[in-house]
């Protein structure tokens, strides 16, 4: 607010002129990966290059058509890989834009939140503790303590004020304390930060731990596959088959069977999951945190605005020993309470709105106080601006109070107005108002007031105390001491309608919800009980209790506590550590600058998208775009789904690869003709490892995923019998496929016909298996095959492809296939079906035994 009115800032027209002249507030970005580089990277594999070279050599000395087709298949596979990687890059780029810094700016007299890149010269910005300064600027009102270590290396905060020359602030530095209005002086590359061209990136690009583990596994599997392929090649050559043909078969088999894309599966699944989470209002800043979400066993959530609606209204006012439930003449007579609650208050006006409630832009608590005393903007602005602001001490989470020194328009004297937690105001008070007179605040009176506060708190009401002072205002170190207690009000902030259901859902999923708040113990308990977070006061711990406890003592009781009340950010840090020491995977929410250490310490740090400070957002792994607790639960559920989808993907990919390798290996061991040609091997890879596998990444069949406890943090991706399933199913695919080939030869079919049958069996058995991978607990006969439309569509496309190369003459010539009759299809379907029946039967038997 202005001394005699509102700050207006630039007009829309001035902004447009300045943007044209000075450009955007943007630091030049690092060189991005080009589309061409992404495409080339698809060929950046030694086996691909060996296959291309071998194919070219084979074409020169033999079948040119085969060589061309092999190269075309390689290119098609590369294009599919390029499309997926390009989509992933675009998704991550979108996330960077979404999580880019925002800033509060005043334009046309209205306070707005805009992307920092949209700032221009002479813009008027509002900065508060926790904000990252978005451009170089000069403070024109207020005081800020700024961390300039990013530029100077000095970790000590620097005080900036409009009252001296130290009023320049710089892009990238952090407001640690205070509140100020500043005018932008430089933007983009002309800022101090721009001169050194160094800006923090918003999206963390750390590798997922799961991805790193799969990279290690992939290297082992590469060696195993190469050895088997070498054995197949050597045996074939030893049996007198063409060296060139066997080398092509060996390399083609290696290209098709080596799971070089295994680590990429994780990135694809995580990127798809992040996009889905964003639709549910959860912005993931660090991809590895998606993996961790599924392990979450504790969610520590702020109360106000996260578990509650953050739509506050004043319910009762207490002064001079009496409680008033609504605006009455007596309330209006107590002018000092009105002064404290309205003048010790910061707000702005949105002139574009007509409704009074929509015109007020303020913290929900301060908005509730304004709406209690006023019902139109003109009277509010006139009243507020009549008190000339001399200085202020912003709200602090440790002090739990805020103060302002103003010039009283009636007496022209200075007066300090303070509001905050009632017990803190009482602690700083030496006197109280009784019938308009200032009298000593006795212990008996203090206890009487505290009892009234507790009575209101038991109703779930949040209480706010008020005090003032007229003397000794020059002593800055003791400015808030020896106050006169004026009274307090109670404010209702009802729980969100969906919070209770989300808490119950957490219980069913083995996740404990912990409420953390700065509110009174009784207020916190009343809300927590309503939400079914706790049942008794013995499950509530206060900040004072924590102060008296050692870390060891806190660790002993932490598992029995569900509510932490009147806590400070340093208490939050100790709470997170205590839960982690007990083996829990902890998600912690926060919004203020002092919450950053606890957010960083948590396994999943969660910042508020609406109320959160820049510092907290940068320390977090996830941002709640709607500040809603149920969004956290949705994100945890999505994290569990993503992890299961990765397991499905791995199960399908490795089972199929084992089946392909085993088919060729068994043929070599039994001295059979090659059951597949190099082109046919690569076609299997194209038809089965592409679209069907990717469709598993968006599968939604998850067997009541939120009715099971969280998985252990260090659980192997192959735990709970996944390796057993992969090996068993892969062996069945390989054995059934080679049996198709053997029976075809036994019945006297031509080798070309037998290979066509083998190719059809291998492809169809894998396409059947992709449906089995939808569930780890249900058999194929219990799965809803139609629940994943992408999977269904991809399987249909693959089936059309196999029919196309079998019956269309042009493709028959290329892939060396031929028409197969009903008997031959019967053999193919029999052995493809045997796999599914055997696998499902094995699953049912195992389930009965367990």
Q: Which of 497, 563, 501 is closest to 528 using CA atoms?
A: 563
Q: Which of 10, 19, 17 is closest to 120 using CA atoms?
A: 19
Q: What's the maximum distance between 2 C-alpha atoms anywhere in the chain?
A: 114
Q: What angle do CA 475, 480, 486 make, to 5 degrees?
A: 130
Cα–Cα dist 506/419, whole Å: 36
Helix or strand (DSSP H, E) at 831: helix 822-849
Rg (CA), the chain: 34
Phi and psi torsions of 37, nearest 5°: -65, -40
Cα–Cα dist 621/605, whole Å: 5
Q: Which of 437, 424, 433 is closest to 481 using CA atoms?
A: 424
Residues 707/582, Cβ–Cβ less than 8 Å? no
Cα–Cα dist 734/684, whole Å: 13
Q: What angle do CA 229, 234, 236 make, to 5 degrees?
A: 95
Residue appearing with tokens 């397991």: 647
The CB-side HSE value for 21 (13 A sphere, CA atoms) comes to: 10
Q: At 313, is the secondary structure helix, strand, or coil?
A: strand
**112 CB-contact burial (10 Å; exposed 0-12 / middle 13-18 / buried 19+):** middle
Q: Cα dist. 706→172, 224, 268, 287, 298 in Å?
A: 41, 38, 23, 22, 14
Cα–Cα dist 383/1, whole Å: 12
Q: 388-396 and 401-407 as β-strands: parallel, antiparallel, unpaired?
A: antiparallel
Residues 767/798, Cβ–Cβ less than 8 Å? yes
Cα–Cα dist 214/291, whole Å: 13
Residues 444/450, Cβ–Cβ less than 8 Å? no
Residue 332 designated active-site: no
Cα–Cα dist 761/766, whole Å: 8
The CB-side HSE value for 284 (13 A sphere, CA atoms) comes to: 29
Reading the block at residue 351, the tokens are: 């002139």
Chain-centroid distance, C-alpha 201? 16
Cα–Cα dist 68/86, whole Å: 26
Q: 586-590 and 604-608 as β-strands: parallel, antiparallel, unpaired?
A: parallel
Residues 370, 375, 380, 383: is their CA dihedral positive or negative? Answer: negative
Q: Which of 781, 787, 799 is closest to 838 using CA atoms?
A: 781
Q: What angle do CA 493, 494, 496 make, to 5 degrees?
A: 120
Partners of 495 in beta bridges? 308
Crossing angle (nearest 10°) for helices 335-343 and 377-385: 90
From 302, 493, 591, 614, the catalytic residue: 302
Helix or strand (DSSP H, E) at 555: helix 551-557
Cα–Cα dist 649/265, whole Å: 7
Q: Which of 669, 658, 660 is closest to 252 using CA atoms?
A: 660
Reading the block at residue 669, the tokens are: 């061991």
* DSSP code of residue 495: B
Crossing angle (nearest 10°) for helices 751-772 and 822-849: 30
Residues 38/82, Cβ–Cβ less than 8 Å? yes
Reading the block at residue 487, the tokens are: 């009274």
Residues annotated as part of the active site: 302
């Amino acid at each position: 607010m202005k001394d005699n009115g509102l700050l207006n800032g630039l007009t829309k027209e001035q902004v447009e002129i300045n943007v044209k002249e000075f450009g955007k507030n943007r630091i030049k970005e690092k060189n991005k990966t080009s589309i061409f580089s992404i495409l080339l990277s698809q060929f950046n594999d030694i086996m691909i290059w060996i296959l291309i070279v071998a194919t070219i050599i084979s074409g020169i000395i033999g079948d040119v058509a085969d060589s061309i087709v092999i190269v075309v298949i390689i290119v098609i596979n590369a294009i599919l890989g390029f499309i997926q990687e390009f989509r992933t890059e675009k998704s991550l780029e979108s996330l960077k834009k979404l999580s880019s810094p925002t800033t509060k700016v005043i334009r046309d007299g209205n306070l707005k939140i805009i992307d920092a890149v949209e700032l221009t010269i002479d813009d008027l910005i509002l900065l508060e503790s926790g904000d990252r300064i978005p451009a170089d600027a000069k403070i024109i009102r207020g005081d800020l303590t700024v961390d300039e270590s990013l530029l100077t290396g000095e970790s000590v905060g620097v005080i900036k004020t409009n009252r001296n020359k130290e009023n320049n602030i710089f892009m990238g530095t952090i407001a640690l304390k205070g509140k100020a209005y500043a005018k932008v002086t430089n933007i983009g590359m002309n800022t101090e930060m721009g001169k050194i061209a160094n800006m923090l990136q918003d999206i963390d690009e750390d590798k997922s731990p799961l991805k790193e583990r799969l990279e290690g596994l992939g290297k082992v599997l590469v060696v195993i596959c190469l050895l088997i392929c070498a054995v197949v090649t050597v045996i074939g050559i030893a049996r007198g088959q063409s060296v060139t043909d066997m080398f092509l078969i060996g390399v083609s088999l290696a290209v098709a069977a080596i799971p070089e894309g295994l680590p990429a599966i994780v990135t694809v699944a995580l990127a798809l999951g992040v996009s889905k989470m964003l639709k549910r209002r959860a912005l993931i800043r660090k991809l590895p945190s998606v993996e961790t979400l599924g392990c979450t066993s504790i969610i520590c959530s702020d109360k106000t605005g996260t578990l509650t609606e953050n739509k506050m209204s004043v319910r009762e006012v207490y002064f001079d020993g009496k409680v008033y439930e609504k605006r009455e003449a007596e309330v209006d007579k107590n002018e000092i309470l009105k002064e404290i609650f309205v003048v010790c208050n910061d707000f702005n006006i949105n002139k574009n709105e007509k409704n009074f409630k929509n015109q007020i832009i303020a913290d929900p608590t301060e908005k509730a106080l304004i709406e209690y005393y006023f019902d139109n903007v003109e009277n509010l602005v006139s009243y507020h601006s009549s008190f000339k602001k001399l200085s202020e001490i912003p709200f602090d989470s440790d002090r739990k109070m805020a103060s302002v020194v103003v010039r009283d328009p009636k007496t022209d004297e200075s007066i300090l107005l303070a509001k905050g937690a009632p017990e803190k105001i009482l602690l700083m008070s030496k006197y109280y108002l009784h019938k308009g007179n200032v009298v000593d605040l006795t212990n008996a009176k203090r206890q009487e007031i505290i009892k009234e506060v507790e009575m209101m708190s038991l109703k779930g009401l949040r209480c706010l105390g008020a005090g003032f002072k007229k003397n000794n205002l020059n002593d800055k170190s003791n400015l808030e001491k020896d106050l006169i207690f004026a009274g307090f009000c109670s404010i209702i902030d009802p729980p969100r309608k969906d919070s209770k259901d989300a808490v119950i859902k957490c219980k069913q999923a083995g996740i404990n919800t912990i409420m953390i708040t700065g509110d009174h113990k009784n207020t916190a308990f009343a809300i927590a009980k309503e939400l079914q977070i706790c049942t008794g006061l013995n499950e509530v711990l206060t900040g004072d209790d924590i102060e008296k406890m050692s870390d060891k003592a806190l660790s002993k009781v932490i598992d029995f506590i569900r509510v932490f009340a009147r806590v400070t950010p340093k208490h939050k840090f100790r709470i997170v550590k205590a839960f982690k020491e007990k083996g829990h995977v902890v998600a912690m929410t926060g919004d203020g600058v002092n919450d950053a250490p606890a957010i960083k310490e948590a396994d999943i740090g969660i910042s508020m998208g609406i109320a959160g400070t820049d510092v907290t957002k940068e320390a977090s792994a996830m941002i709640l775009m709607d500040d809603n607790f149920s969004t956290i639960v949705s994100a945890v559920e999505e994290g569990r789904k993503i992890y299961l989808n990765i397991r499905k993907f791995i199960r399908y990919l490795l089972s199929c690869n084992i089946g392909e390798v085993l088919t060729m290996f068994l043929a070599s061991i039994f001295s059979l003709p090659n059951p597949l040609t190099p082109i046919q091997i690569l076609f299997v890879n194209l038809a089965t490892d592409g679209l069907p596998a990717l469709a598993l990444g968006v599968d939604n069949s998850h067997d009541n995923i939120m009715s099971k406890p969280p998985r252990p943090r260090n659980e192997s991706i192959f735990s709970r019998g996944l390796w057993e399933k992969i090996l068993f199913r892969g062996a069945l695919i390989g054995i059934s496929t080679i049996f198709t080939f053997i029976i075809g030869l036994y019945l006297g079919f031509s080798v070309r016909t037998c290979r066509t049958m083998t190719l059809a069996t291998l492809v169809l058995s894998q396409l059947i298996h992709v449906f089995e991978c939808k569930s780890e607990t249900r058999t194929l006969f219990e799965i809803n095959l139609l629940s994943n439309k992408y999977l269904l569509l991809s399987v249909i496309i693959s089936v059309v492809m196999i029919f196309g190369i079998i019956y269309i003459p042009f493709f028959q010539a290329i892939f060396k296939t031929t028409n197969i009759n009903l008997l031959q299809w019967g053999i193919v379907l029999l052995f493809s079906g045997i796999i599914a029946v055997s696998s499902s039967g094995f699953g049912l038997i195992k389930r009965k035994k367990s």
